[in-house]
Structure 1
Amino acid sequence: MLAGRRILLIIGGGIAAYKSLELIRLLRGAGATVAPVLTRAGTEFVTPLSVSALAGEKVFQDLFDLTDEAEMGHIQLSRAADLVVVAPATADLMARMAAGLAPDLAATLLLATDKPVLIAPAMNVRMWEHPATQRNLARLIADGIRVVGPDAGAMACGEFGPGRMAEPAAILSAIDGALGAGPLAGRHVLVTSGPTHEPIDPVRYIANRSSGAQGAALAAALRDLGARVSFVTGPATVPPPHGVTVAPVQTAAEMLAAVEAHLPADAAVFAAAVADWRVDGAAAQKIKKGADGPPALRMAENPDILATVARMGAGRPALVVGFAAETEHVAEHATAKRLRKGCDWIVANDVSPATGIMGGAENAVTLITDAGAEVWPRLPKSEVARRLAARIAEALAP
């Protein structure tokens, strides 16, 4: 499935580096050739000999190898591959990438390449959750870097949580998608994301705390599986991923119009937190304080985008997935919502303030289908997106 493709694999310095050996085996088994780059820290975990033996090629380590640099070898390396993969991508490597630093061969290759880049982060849970790492991650995603994982689980250091490198099979699947050979190649998926802003007057509006992080992560995961993604997003704080068709909107009415304009689709996922109500007759000028006290706002119900698409006749997507943000009786309310809206699946989560989920980096969801409720553990939103995208690919498989 990757026959004739060339992968530049950068192996960072972390205990997860041993998984890179299995990844090389899987890549070569799929028909790809692998040009391995081993960082100095990486040699503390895997040897150049083992990497070279599995890849069947020379291992590159030193930026100033005169034999290679006589012909600007680092430039050739960075551009001769179809895809650059960093696995494991340590916190240090991610920081260098985000800052545009190039102190060694690996960082120089990443700065010099004109090819797509996929990273598989791996680090201690506290390092992963540190604000600096999350800022770097957001910067890399905004720069168009694709991300797979990390997974949550037990760490070599004895701690538990997100930070484990994705398994080699999952990285292989992401590589397939990045090269247009994934299970969703040729499929069109529509994703909505973010909040909507319903104007009260030209200055004020009704909104909610949705950051758009889960929708953006899902659009990226579907893209990485090869799908053509139409991304209809409200004014989210998380930027949309590269490689998708973006339709920015403000209000629920605009979102419905954009959704209809981007149909037909094979699947539609409604992750947006759409305002249920709007002000009926928003003021044309800023409302001023007055002797009569606060103004009375008359509310009107917004269009139900999920139900509109789920109950379409001809042209309905084969799979319609809704999201249910609840603060109590999560599974019960979400199950009722699935039946009421007429969608195929509902992804339910508890967004009560104590969970930190709305606007946070993690999610804990229950996938509700006609087969029942499937509870997923609390995971990084990127991993929730990857799992959901994989399920969508299974559902759309011929």
Structure 2
Amino acid sequence: MKMLTGKTIVLGVAGGIACYKALTLASRLTQAGAKVRVMMTNGAAQFVTPLSFQTITRHPVATDTFDEKDPAVVQHIDLADSADLIVIAPATANILAKLAHGLADEIVSTTLLAATCPVMVAPAMNVHMYTHPAVQQNMNTLMRRGVLFIEPGTGALACGYTGKGRMAEPEQIVERIAEHFAQVDAHANDLHKPLAGKRILVTGGGTRERIDPVRYLGNDSSGKMGAAIAAAAQELGAQKVTFIAANATAATPPGVERIEVESAEQMLEAVMGRLSANDMVVKAAAVADYRPKHVFSRKIKKQEDSLMLELERTPDILHTIGHSGYSGFVIGFAAETGEAAEYAMDKLRRKNCDLIAANNVLLEGAGFGTDTNVLEIYGPEGLVAALPAMSKQEAAKRLLTLAAERMAAHAANQSTAAAEVQDE
């Protein structure tokens, strides 16, 4: 059996000289057993004809949003819905900008806006274009949304320059696609899915409280722990994962819905508006405790040797969740600099949590922005697990596995109690 049999790959081709490689890519994917449906920008059609792709793939090529060949479907929606994976190769600076900013003025960008499957892009452009701050920012935006990137190679470019910007070779792209589906299939075949069917809400990053248009009160949280928890929830079988990100630089795992917020007030609104639809909420975000009582509409000018700011409490999101009547499982985080056990247990009781994950941010490997963490997990009975320094991904998986076990035990107890009542 060919490695991509049964997979539908929509190949988006943007206008660049690397289009000739896209022909080879379409051929390799077809040979690997994939059903390949091609869509092309007008610029791409200037380099390679649609007929070439049609001949290779044995499928019509989409070149115009308004050229609806089949009256039974809307072309760009049908393309998006049919795809197990969308691959953009070559991905020009222009198409990356459209994808980052949600523009839709031709078939490729319009289809991308309608897509819910994973998206993989293979950038190709001049070295100076690739390193331009606008292009880099657009790529970072897309990475945070979960778009998968196949890094370009370094070498002689068509424009005469030598540098980074050559589209990855078709064989490399096929290999990356095969790895992607192997991971997806491995997860699908994994029988140990303790969060199967569950809907998980995760917060991450650090909130910012505005002082004036250019200044704010904030913290050093990167959102890596929250993103790791979102990824672990998917790995453990969650039906849907939502990541509410406050100024997080960490990338969003593919398939996770990301909601961007800035302040504690915005995060509260985002969380409470989605709370009842979720079976578990994990509050990993570092939320500011105070905010300026007065926010200046214009930049504060330097006047005296000191400046007095009056602060007020921000809404306590975890406390609000815990006392809202929410019936799901609640996990809080406590970033401390000492006496973690005492503070964690106090927080768990006051805020009515099921678990609290505490970490001493002064410990090596446990601070903000690191790739590792050191967690102590507390339940109503006290310390239930002490995790040594490990990757945030592994720590997240351990935490959610423990939470899933407790959720299952609670559900079993409720069923037993209900049965006993019926027997009476």
TM-score range, shorter chain: 0.5 to 0.7
TM-score (norm 1): 0.59
Contact 1:78 1:110 in 2 (8 A): no
Q: Which has the higher contact order (CA 8 A, sep 6+)?
A: 1
Tell me the matched-pair count. 266
Gaps spanning 5+ residues in structure 2: where? 6-23, 36-83, 86-148, 154-167, 412-424
| Sequence identity percentage | 39
Aligned equivalent of 1:288: 301
Question: Which of the pair has more CA radius of gyration?
Answer: 2
Q: 1:198 aligns with which of 199, 209, 229?
A: 209
Residue aligned with 2:388, SS: coil
1:219-258 matches, cutoff 5 A: 219-227=230-238, 228-258=240-270
Residue aligned with 1:200, SS: strand
1:44-123 matches, cutoff 5 A: 72=27, 75-77=30-32, 79=34, 98-99=150-151, 107-112=172-177, 116-117=180-181
For the residues of structure 1 that align with 2:310 and 2:376, how far apart are their CA atoms?
35
Aligned equivalent of 1:337: 347
CA displacement at 1:176 relative to structure 2: 4.3
CA displacement at 1:78 relative to structure 2: 6.8
Question: Quick check: 1:365 aligned with 2:375?
Answer: yes
For the residues of structure 2 that align with 1:342 and 1:237, how far apart are their CA atoms?
30
CA displacement at 1:275 relative to structure 2: 0.4
1:45-83 Cα distance to aligned partner (Å, 9 max, x none): xxxxxxxxxxxxxxxxxxxxxxxx9x9565443748x89
Contact 1:335 1:368 in 2 (8 A): yes
CA displacement at 1:283 relative to structure 2: 0.8
- What is the identity, as a one-letter code, of the residue corresponding to 1:251? S
Residue aligned with 2:212, SS: coil
Aligned equivalent of 2:404: 393
Aligned equivalent of 1:218: 229
Aligned equivalent of 1:57: none
How well do the aligned residues superpose, as a CA RMSD in angstroms?
3.5
Residue aligned with 1:218, SS: helix
Residue aligned with 1:262, SS: helix
Question: Quick check: 1:208 aligned with 2:273?
Answer: no
Residue aligned with 1:278, SS: strand
For the residues of structure 2 that align with 1:176 and 1:321, how far apart are their CA atoms?
28
Contact 1:217 1:381 in 2 (8 A): yes
Cα distance change on mapping 1:226 and 1:267 into 2, 3 Å: same
Question: Quick check: 1:275 aligned with 2:288?
Answer: yes
For the residues of structure 1 that align with 2:260 and 2:152, how far apart are their CA atoms?
29
Cα distance change on mapping 1:281 and 1:73 into 2, 3 Å: closer
Contact 2:366 2:389 in 1 (8 A): no
- What is the identity, as a one-letter code, of the residue corresponding to 1:297? L
Cα distance change on mapping 1:279 and 1:118 into 2, 3 Å: farther
For the residues of structure 2 that align with 1:288 and 1:118, how far apart are their CA atoms?
57
Deviates more, 1:293-302 or 1:360-369: 293-302
TM-score (norm 2): 0.56
Gaps spanning 5+ residues in structure 1: where? 1-5, 10-32, 34-68, 84-96, 120-145, 147-170
- What is the identity, as a one-letter code, of the residue corresponding to 2:215? R
Cα distance change on mapping 1:267 and 1:72 into 2, 3 Å: same
Contact 1:221 1:386 in 2 (8 A): yes
Contact 2:28 2:174 in 1 (8 A): no
Contact 2:214 2:299 in 1 (8 A): yes
1:4-23 matches, cutoff 5 A: none
Contact 1:176 1:226 in 2 (8 A): no
Residue aligned with 1:185, SS: coil
CA displacement at 1:205 relative to structure 2: 0.3
